[in-house]
A and B are shown apart, each in its own frame.
Chain A
């Protein structure tokens, strides 16, 4: 079936697939890296997949694997996941004004599939007009399918890959953040906010602040950007 025919045949799935393709290309290898690291940390294949299906949050999953391997407490890991994923609160709040007509059931599913990358896709689509419900939900489900597939491949290959360093799997997460950050640094103010939060977070990490340093640096940076844009340079973008 050609792309044109597929589009005519009620192509919301096709349109969703086109939009989500770049994220799928990223999720499969990064999910693979997570699977390999988790396998080497001693997680069973069932648990590796459970986490990708039930949690579906890249950075939190990588961090949890490290903490599990280090013997951290259950409460500590759950709290860390909460702090690291608090940013989704802000993604969710950013989308909510545009989704007034949606049913609660659809919103619940949309929320479940909300990641940095799917948020970026939704935010991008919103610039062209209201979101199509079926297409938007399909984007999320397809992205997660790619993440689960990558995790499965990594879990299966995990025992064969003894050391993750030669193939740089430990750089998968930083590289992912760089890619996402490049898409977010839209204006000079955004770039300045990113630099400020990044440096503050590093200073806090070096002084032993741990995960709360990330949250503190995020809130401080966003507050500074808001202050700058609202009162100091209201005309610049």
Chain B
């Protein structure tokens, strides 16, 4: 592992902060109080589900970079209790705990 230059890391963080803040702030600061067209509102309503799935699926279906739908894929197996906990209890913490607990247990018993 290369030794990181912490000044470069900090400059990267400043760039990330700007790149993250602009999309967060622009609509709130410039659009607040205006009514958006219904079609836009409808589109926006689908974005969270779409983006979360787009971020999630590749990391679970292909954790090593290649498609892995086998029972040996601990991320795929761990998603089941995490999803069930989230769906049945609605608890953010419960889902994270159930998922991480399952993955940790599988690795411990299977030596994965």
Listed in ascending order, the chain A residues whose CB lies under 8 Å from chain B are: 22-23, 25-26, 29-30, 41-44, 46-47, 50-51, 54-57, 59-60, 64, 68-69, 71, 74-75, 77-79, 81-82, 84-97, 99-102, 104, 107-108, 110-112, 114, 116-117, 119-120, 165-169, 171-185, 189-191, 193-202, 205-206, 213-214, 217-219, 221-223, 225-226, 229-230
The SS class assigned to the A binding surface is helix
Q: Helix, strand, loop or mixed for chain B's interface?
A: helix
A26 B19 Cβ-Cβ under 8 A: no
- Residues on the B chain within 8 Å of A173, using CB: 59
A-B contact count (CB 8 A): 319
Q: Which residues of B contact A (CB under 8 A)?
A: 1-4, 6, 8-29, 31-36, 39-62, 66-67, 74-75, 78-79, 82-83, 86-87, 90-93, 95-104, 107-108
- Given A47-B6, A47-B13, A197-B53, A89–B1 Cβ distance below 8 Å? no
> Can you name 10 A-B residue pairings with CB atoms under 8 Å?
A30-B96, A47-B10, A74-B15, A86-B23, A93-B31, A94-B44, A107-B25, A196-B50, A197-B57, A202-B62
Within 8 Å by CB of B39, from A77, A97, A230, lies: A230
Indicate if the CB atoms of B58 and A178 lie closer than 8 Å.
no
Which of A22, A89, A93 is within 8 Å of B91, CB to CB? A22
Assess whether B78 is in contact with A168, with CB atoms less than 8 Å apart. Answer: yes
B20 close to A85 (CB less than 8 A): yes
The 3 closest A-B pairs by CB, nearest first: A100-B33, A198-B57, A175-B99
Q: Give Cα A51 to B11, complex, Å.
A: 10
Do the beta carbons of B27 and A89 come within 8 Å of each other?
A: yes
Residue among B8, B14, B17 having the largest count of chain A Cβ atoms under 10 Å: B17
Query: A221 and B54 in contact (CB under 8 A), knowing A54-B17, A99-B33, A178-B79?
Result: yes
How far, in whole Å, are A99 and B25 apart by their CA atoms in the complex? Answer: 13
Partner among A167, A200, A202 whose Cβ is within 8 Å of the Cβ of B104: A167
Contact of B44 among A79, A93, A112 (CB under 8 A): A93
Contact of A184 among B8, B11, B52 (CB under 8 A): B52
